[in-house]
Amino acid sequence: MPNQKACPTAEPHSRAFKQPRKKARLTRDEKAQQTYRNLMDAAAKIVGELGYAATSITKVTEVAGVAHGTFYNYFKDRQALFDVLLPYFGQQMTDQITEDLTHVGNGIEREIARFRAYCDYLKSNPGFYRVLYEAEVFAPVAHKAHIQRLSEGYQRALKRAMDAGDFRQMSDDELKTISAILLGARAYVAMQYKQTGEVPESAVQAYAGLVRHGLFY
């Protein structure tokens, strides 16, 4: 018989057709945390678009994609949701700003970058503005806690810059007032552009000029 070329040996079936790995199933705690986040995201979306008054439990659960009764596994009532909504997203905002400032220098330039990071956050999360400012009426305890946390955090940041020699020496009372002025400035600048959801570069530069030079050269 004529010599025949040996055919290449085919790979074993188990190697030729690998089965895709199954994703690990979420634990009960992980599922609960995901549901909580879905409810919070849904509430923020609705409040951001319609306001607190028009936000119902039914709308929140529909947008979150969960059963109506599931809501009560996490919140006693609608007010209980409102009371944690601003602190929850306020923490996300400050975490994002902190991350944006990771590689930024100190002193005045860091303060300008902090303002820019706040504007960038509002651009990506336009509903946050309404969640924040309507909370003063619909979730006053949460609003007060949020403002206090921001103010105290700002004072600590300014004090670190002062201790590092980037700012002039100030008393604790002056630091408290300066932090309120800076927080108020960014809030009212953002208010001017809430319809478009984007603070223009010209506004950032105006803020930069103010913190660098004051009102007078």
Q: Which tens digit of pLDDT belongs to each residue from 176-217?
A: 999 999 999 988 988 888 777 788 899 999 999 998 888 776
**What is the rounded CA–CA span in Å between residue 104 and residue 111?**
10
Under a CB-based contact definition with an 8 Å cutoff, are residues 194 and 129 in contact? yes
3-class secondary structure for 21-63?
Answer: CCCCCCCHHHHHHHHHHHHHHHHHHHHHHHCCCCCCHHHHHHH
Name which residue leads in pLDDT, 161 or 80: 80
**Residues 9-52 pLDDT 10s:** 444 444 444 555 666 787 888 899 999 999 999 999 999 999 99
Q: The tokens of 54 are what? A: 């028009």
**Are domains 28-75 and 79-217 of this chain identical in fold?**
no
Under a CB-based contact definition with an 8 Å cutoff, are residues 137 and 188 in contact? no
**What is the rounded CA–CA span in Å between residue 79 and residue 139?**
8
The DSSP letter of residue 133 is H
Does the pLDDT value for residue 2 go beyond 50?
Answer: no
**What is the rounded CA–CA span in Å between residue 65 and residue 196?**
29
The top-level CATH class assigned to 28-75 is mainly alpha
**Residues 164-177 pLDDT 10s:** 888 889 999 999 99
Nearest 5 degrees, angle CA 161-CA 117-CA 108?
30
User: Measured in whole angstroms, how far is the alpha carbon of residue 10 from the centre of its chain?
Assistant: 54
| Rounded mean pLDDT, 115-126 | 90
Domain locations in the chain as residue ranges = 28-75, 79-217
The model's pTM is: 0.79
Q: Helices 140-163 and 128-138: crossing angle, nearest 10°?
A: 120
pLDDT at 106: 82
The top-level CATH class assigned to 79-217 is mainly alpha
Under a CB-based contact definition with an 8 Å cutoff, are residues 100 and 117 in contact? yes
Under a CB-based contact definition with an 8 Å cutoff, are residues 74 and 36 in contact? yes
